[in-house]
Amino acid sequence: MIKESWTESKKLWKIAGPAMFIRICAYSMMVITTICAGHLGVVELAAVAIQGNVIRGLAFGFLYGMGSALETLCGQAFGAGKIQMLGVYMQRSWLILLGTSVLLSFIYIFATPILKLLVQDEDVDDLAGEYALWMLPQLFAYALYFPMQKFLLAQRKLMAVAWIALAALIIHAFLSWLLIFQVGLGLVGAAITLNLSWYIIVTCQFLYIVYFCRDAWKGFSWLAFNDLWAFIRLSMASGVMLCLDFWYMSSLTLLAGHLKNAAIEVDAISICMNLNGWEAMIFIGFNAAISVRVSNELGAGRPNAAKFSVIVVILTSLSIGLICMGIILATKNQFAVLFTNSKVVRETVSNMAMLLGVTMVLNSVQPVLSGVAVGGGWQGLIAYVNVGCYYVIGLPLGLLMGYKFDLGAKGIWTGMICGTALQTVILLLITYFTNWNREAAQAEDRIRVWGGSAESYTNRSSKGKENAEYENNP
């Protein structure tokens, strides 16, 4: 068992390591922008936090979720040796996500009245709305980026993307310093820098796909327009499942804006959420890895291997989550200095350290279980679980504790943690009672309907040259 666990762990880390690094670099660009805004002023930090967690969060969550449909389809097609379908799937996802971005753009355009309708601080609303307009190009970068990311992830071609992400992060840090502080463009400079950094990533990834993924990318094809409705349904299920996760924690920042000293509360929550988001990139890496492992093994007809992979990744991620909690509690009086010069904000953050630590532990398991759901294609079921745990139980409980019991941001956060804890328990039970043999059969049906054929399953020992090489050399 120890040998098998070590072998599986190496397979997971081979995918998760680069995936984590890519996500940490991408997320760090936003954190750098937040840090710069914090040193411009309290209102500037709150405006960037509101735009990032509410306006961008709404769009990001939905597009990321819709793009995650490719984790199911590309992963299972790759496991079945249907590599040529990956490029077609990616193009279908581009069409759907770009169309969705056009609709989501109205959230950016009308950000100020939307935020004022939600009764935020007026000064923060005006600045956040102006900043949102400048950030509109990033929305369409997401629509191009997420399908490419899933396309490469399914093939485990992530090292080149990791180098691209690192280069973009370095460029972003330099341009942030130059445009925000030296040139004096303030938040406009921050928006220009962030948009430019994302389009550098998108352009470089596309060039890599064209020149180094010739087995899976055969150029643009009219096949991308086939079976669009079925693809939209799976994308929508993925979008609802994952965006409910993103919106849930984003609403914490929104609700904090209704409290006394709203700017201080929003700043403190923003700092905690940025650190939580940084840590979450580790577990989103595991989310990606387990999604690929489960979808590959189900597509290749190995249900027991998929189940074993789930056990290994849960234990690994939980251990890391406990370590992160310990670090936060040990440095609770120091870490806020990175983001702000305000003593009041730093003290507020220190008082929230325990909640942040507990959230980090829960977030070490929950994204992994969501990755299992994506790999298995259970998005519709998990969407119902998320609605019940988050919006029927967690959010109302948070409102009750925050406003009725006058516990402020800590009360809101505590109630929402209860919803996350319940969701995690339910996902664990669903995973535990899963019939993995049935899941493998459903993966076969899915591939046959969307580009595969039953003939590919007559000899499961031959699933494509690249897949076989990976299995023999984990």
**Every domain of the chain and the residues it spans:** 2-455
Query: Which of 289-298, 400-409, 416-425 shows the highest mean pLDDT?
Result: 416-425
Fill in the DSSP letter of residue 61: H
> Percent of the chain beyond pLDDT 70?
88
Q: How far apart are CA 464 and CA 25, in angstroms?
A: 32
Q: How far apart are CA 67 and CA 74, in angstroms?
A: 11
The residue behind tokens 């929305």 is 139
* pLDDT for res 74: 79
Listed in sequence order, the residues at least 6 apart from 388 whose beta carbon sits closer than 8 Å to its beta carbon are none
Specify whether the CB–CB gap between 199 and 141 falls below 8 A: yes
Integer distance in angstroms from the first to the last C-alpha of the chain? 17
Specify whether the CB–CB gap between 209 and 151 falls below 8 A: yes
Task: Report pLDDT digits (tens) over 368-383.
Answer: 887 777 666 676 777 7
Torsion sign across C-alpha atoms 467, 287, 331, 358: negative
Task: Report pLDDT digits (tens) over 447-467.
Answer: 666 554 433 333 433 443 434
Please tell me which residue, 123 or 128, carries the higher pLDDT value.
Answer: 128
pLDDT band at 163 (very low <50, low <70, confident <90, very high): very high
* pLDDT for res 431: 85
Specify whether the CB–CB gap between 389 and 241 falls below 8 A: no
Q: How far apart are CA 80 and CA 29, in angstroms?
A: 36
Specify whether the CB–CB gap between 43 and 408 falls below 8 A: no
Q: How far apart are CA 334 and CA 422, in angstroms?
A: 31
- pLDDT for residue 335 is more than 80: yes
Listed in sequence order, the residues at least 6 apart from 376 whose beta carbon sits closer than 8 Å to its beta carbon are 72, 294, 295, 298, 306, 434, 439
Task: Report pLDDT digits (tens) over 71-119.
Answer: 777 777 777 777 888 888 899 889 989 999 999 999 999 999 988 887 5
Alpha carbon distances (Å) from 103 to 63, 118, 123, 134, 148: 11, 20, 27, 17, 21
Alpha carbon distances (Å) from 446 to 71, 377, 379, 453, 455: 13, 9, 14, 10, 14
Torsion angle of the four alpha carbons 105, 107, 112, 115, in this order, in degrees rounded to the nearest 10: -160
Average pLDDT over residues 283-296: 79
Listed in sequence order, the residues at least 6 apart from 23 whose beta carbon sits closer than 8 Å to its beta carbon are 281, 284, 285
- pLDDT for residue 120 is more than 70: no
Q: How far apart are CA 50 and CA 131, in angstroms?
A: 10
Specify whether the CB–CB gap between 148 and 202 falls below 8 A: yes
